[in-house]
Amino acid sequence: MHFTDAPIETDWSIVMQTYLTFTELRSKLGGRSRSAIYLDLANGRLPQPVKLGSRLYWPEGDIEDHLRTLQKREM
């Protein structure tokens, strides 16, 4: 087996992603109700969550990108 001293490139933005809980998501969305958020998810108006164990989490980067896209549409 041969090893080189070449550095391993890692995309840390993927490795170090922050996830939002449902409560944090609600806050980021201006206090939207639970039912409104689930309707948005069902209709594809919000990025889908990731299930870890029995809980749902939303990658913060996905939510930020989604909100930026919505802002651009309003301009």
pLDDT digits (tens, 9 = 90+) for 42-67: 999 999 999 989 999 999 999 999 99
pLDDT attached to residue 72: 87
The whole model's pTM is what? 0.73
Q: Count structural domains, the chain.
A: 1
Residues 33, 35, 38, 39, CA torsion sign: negative
Domain membership flag for residue 11 = no
Measure the CA–CA gap between 65 and 21, rounded to whole angstroms.
Answer: 17
Residue with the bigger pLDDT between 9 and 37: it is 37
pLDDT category, 20, cuts 50, 70, 90? very high
Domain extent, residue 61, equals 18-74
pLDDT attached to residue 70: 86
pLDDT attached to residue 42: 96
Domain membership flag for residue 8 = no
